[in-house]
Structure 1
Amino acid sequence: MPSELNVEVCYALPGEQTIVPLTLSAGATMRDAIERSGLLQRFPELDLTRMKAGVFGKVRALDAVLDAGDRVEIYRTLKADPKLARQRRVEKVRNEGSREGQKWLGSSRRGS
């Protein structure tokens, strides 16, 4: 087992992506990588007690041990409930009168 491992820590905002490559000792955790990356100082809105993080799109605990080549991703909280956002988009399309927006309505409401 190698004594060091190379990982990346990533954080993305709508207009900016930050990727920090790191070399950590074997047995390092996600928390270790995030703290060593400097992203907590660069982005003060990040809070280790409330945020979610993962590796390659899979949420993992902050005490999870990393493997060589892992990409630690820090996830932002959602601004809107995904279900409500989708409902609003569908309603907007329906109000614009497109046929696509009508497909989920019952046949009695479509207006053949």
Structure 2
Amino acid sequence: MTIQIAYALPNSYFLQSYQVEPGTIIQNAILQSGILEQYKEIDLRSNTVGIFSRLAKLTDVLQDGDRIEIYRPLLADPKEIRRKRAEQQKQELEAQKAQEKQQRAEAKALAKKEMSTDPKLKG
């Protein structure tokens, strides 16, 4: 039966078709493929795997046409990234508001100064 093995990197990807015997488990297909020699960073003890974007176990039996996907570990916690992004946006908004407040105060002071020095406006 025919299966595929996929492994994505930030700037490239690996996708190869293989013939395996019926009853082959994911782990054996990966080992037989030789991908572990080509990509030394893959560690089946820490990398998770899936079949067509659904998490799978290394002991799951493959079906004809399955695509094994080897996932890289996350470099950062997505919740932490969102929290930091929200905090940064909050700080930027506060800085923008402070700058606008300063500009309004300067404009008001300038208008007041012009009123006090312009004889036409003194009445």
* TM-score, normalization by structure 1: 0.78
The aligned counterpart of 1:57 is 53
Structure 1 segments of 4+ aligned residues over 3 angstroms from their partners: none
Q: Does 1:94 align with 2:90?
A: yes
C-alpha displacement at 1:17, in angstroms? 0.7
3-state DSSP of counterpart to 2:36: helix
Aligned length: 94
Q: Give the whole-Å Cα distance in 1 for the aligned partners of 2:43 and 2:70.
A: 10
C-alpha displacement at 1:93, in angstroms? 2.1
C-alpha displacement at 1:89, in angstroms? 1.4
Larger Rg: 2
The aligned counterpart of 1:71 is 67
Show structure 1 runs of 5+ residues with no match: 99-112
Counterparts of 1:1-112 in structure 2, within 5 Å, are 5-97=1-93
Q: Give the whole-Å Cα distance in 2 for the aligned partners of 1:83 and 1:49.
A: 24
C-alpha displacement at 1:84, in angstroms? 0.3
Show structure 2 runs of 5+ residues with no match: 95-123
Q: Give the whole-Å Cα distance in 2 for the aligned partners of 1:69 and 1:90.
A: 42
More strand by share: 1
